Amino acid sequence: MPKAAAWQRLLLHEELVDAERGADTMRPVRRAQLELLLQKFSLAASIAAALYALALWVLFYVLAPSPRVLVWAALVHGVQALRYTHTRRLLARGPVPDAELGPELHRQTRLLWMLGGAWAMAPWLLMRHGDTASMALMAVFIVGMVSSAAAVLSSHRQTVAAFVVPAMCGLVLALAWSGGLIGWIMALALAQYSSTLVKWTAQQVDLLVDSLQVRFDREDLAQRLAEQVERVEAGSREKTRFLASASHDLRQPLHAVSLFTAVLEHGLAQGPQHETVARLAHSVRMLGTSLDGMLDVSRLDAGAVQPRIETLGVHALFVSLQNTYGVRAQEKGLRLRIRAPGDLHVASDRLLLERLLGNLLDNALKYTEQGGVLVAARPAHLPDGGQAVRFEILDTGIGIAPAQQAQVFEEFYQVGNPQRDRAQGLGLGLSIVRRLSALLQHPVQLRSRPGRGTRFGVLVRAVPPVASSGAVLPPHPRRPVQLPAHVLVLDDEAVSAMAMASWLSAQGCRVRLAADVPAARLALRQHPEISTVVADFRLPGSESGLDFLVEVRLKLPEMRGLLVTGETAPERIAAIRASGLPCLFKPVQPEQLVEALAR
């Protein structure tokens, strides 16, 4: 602010502050100041101010009856009534529009100038000049009123000045006019007091304005941040919906291809084309594995996966990893070493922890061309001081540059695969690791040097072994598989329905087909021998396959139901999980169907 404008700031023209900081920026601050002024202007405060003025003029009228006292009484009470009426009417109208904030603050300021002017007339109309007692009494009353008003009006500089300056100027000038040593001393002292009061109040108002502006700036920043987060989340939801839709459209024909291939493989088991069909079946399973990766992401995002925490032996976990990935390591000419000193046990979900470690091991084997991979476990400590087991997967692969180490946990991101080589997968493995790590509360750490290899660490809480953890149970004798004799297939996709019917028929089942819910209800009434319903999720009309299976479960408790769907949308998966019905996700492998139908 230039020095030439300092007097304007001293006279409290807050329009200068608005010009400096911007009217839009200061608008919420001015609204808050006006609201504070109106909050303090209650009925009780108005009555107290009126009684204070009443006490002053009654006292002086008793001491020296004069028409001038009655004139001042009418003046001050008239202005008080005018301000009270205006403020009550303003409060009754509700919030002040943005365009009216400035004008309303100016109206409040003018009313207070009028009230301050009325109090400025009190020494001239009520006080007996030269009478020390009268002068002292007047000074006490006006200083008391001014001090109280400064505290009440301290949310806005101009309103403070509008009342304090005229009221104190009137008193100081009247005391100086009275003359005499006492009058001049009182005038000088009260002038100094007035200056100090105005400056102190101005500082308090400035502090209030700054704090209000900081608060509103933070609220505005939080609002913009929330909007940005909402945009990011909306983009993520849109991506999830796109993936779910694309995945569903791909799963439908792939499911039919998988079942038709299984029928061919069964029919040509002894024929010369068996090897070709086996390769076709392998390719179909590989594509199904890729789609299952997208399904895992959707299920984790939907909260459809709930961990079952139990005590796990690290040795048994490592044996499973060795059995799953040992052959693959040998095929690549890599050495897979697995080490776990001592009898270590952890608290986790068996399947989810094995999936987490398996994805890390799969990633290590994928990006290692020579050398080997080490999977190890050793005692460690949690950040809270508790005992833990640290799983480590070390490889001698290509490594990960520091700039890419955060990105590798994102969906579809792959190091060194700009051409999107299908042999390297889709890039979902580590994104699933990130989700499983958060779900299980097992922190994952990454250290890597390009060209030297990568080390992943997973920290899992350690627990004492249970008594039966080391027992080896004899294998259960494998029972012959008994599939249901009569099955109803509910699917509006003709190709998928025919594929399912062909496979079931090849297994010796009698199959009935229905393309919608009314046809399925009719089939159940006409063929009471049906014992199992296999339904797709999406069907024509308003009812889904899930709705129909829930209905059948209520009406025919002995009827078995199996949902077979290509849905991967998180909300759909959550609804399926909430129903408690068994569900298989397309493309379904024949082994999965056998297991589900034979239960």
Higher-pLDDT residue of 129, 362: 362
Task: Give the tens place of pLDDT for each residue, 17-47.
Answer: 555 555 566 677 777 777 777 777 777 888 8
CA nearest 180: which of 135, 211, 141?
Answer: 135
pLDDT digits (tens, 9 = 90+) for 542-598: 889 999 999 999 999 999 999 988 776 777 878 888 888 999 887 787 888 888 888
What is the pTM (predicted TM-score) of this model?
Answer: 0.44
Going by C-alpha positions, the residue among 179, 79, 185, 182 that lies closest to residue 122 is 79
Residue 68: the pLDDT is 92
State the pLDDT at residue 123.
93
CB 376 within 8 A of CB 392: yes
Residue 588 CA to residue 171 CA, distance in Å, equals 96
Question: pLDDT tens-digit profile of 494-539?
Answer: 888 888 888 888 888 999 999 999 999 999 999 999 999 999 998 9
pLDDT at 3: 42
| CATH architecture of residue range(s) 310-461 | 2-Layer Sandwich (3.30)
The secondary structure of residue 18, as a DSSP letter, is: H
Please report, for the chain, the start and end positions of each structural domain, with discontinuous segments joined by +. Answer: 3-178, 235-304+481-599, 310-461
Read off the amino acid at residue 597. Answer: L
- Per residue in 399-410, pLDDT tens? 877 766 666 777
Q: Say how far apart CA 192 and CA 189 lie, in whole Å.
A: 5
Q: Residues 409-454: pLDDT tens digits?
A: 776 555 544 433 444 444 567 888 888 888 889 998 888 888 888 8
Residue 302 pLDDT > 70: no
Average of per-residue pLDDT across 306-326: 87
Enter the tokens of residue 354: 């094995």
Shortest CA distance to 562 belongs to which of 520, 533, 591? Answer: 533
Cβ neighbours around 86 below 10 Å, total? 14
Task: Match 């003018």 to its residue by tokens.
Answer: 110
Neighbours of 372 (CB within 10 A): 19
- Measured between alpha carbons, how far is 128 from 117 in angstroms, rounded to an integer? 19
Q: Which CATH code fits 235-304+481-599?
A: 3.40.50.2300
> In the prediction, which pLDDT does 221 show?
86
Tens of pLDDT, residues 82-127:
988 888 888 778 787 877 777 788 888 888 899 999 999 999 999 8
Indicate if 310-461 has the same CATH topology as 235-304+481-599.
no
Q: What is the pLDDT of residue 212?
A: 79
Q: 67-93 and 23-40 helices cross at what angle (nearest 10)?
A: 120
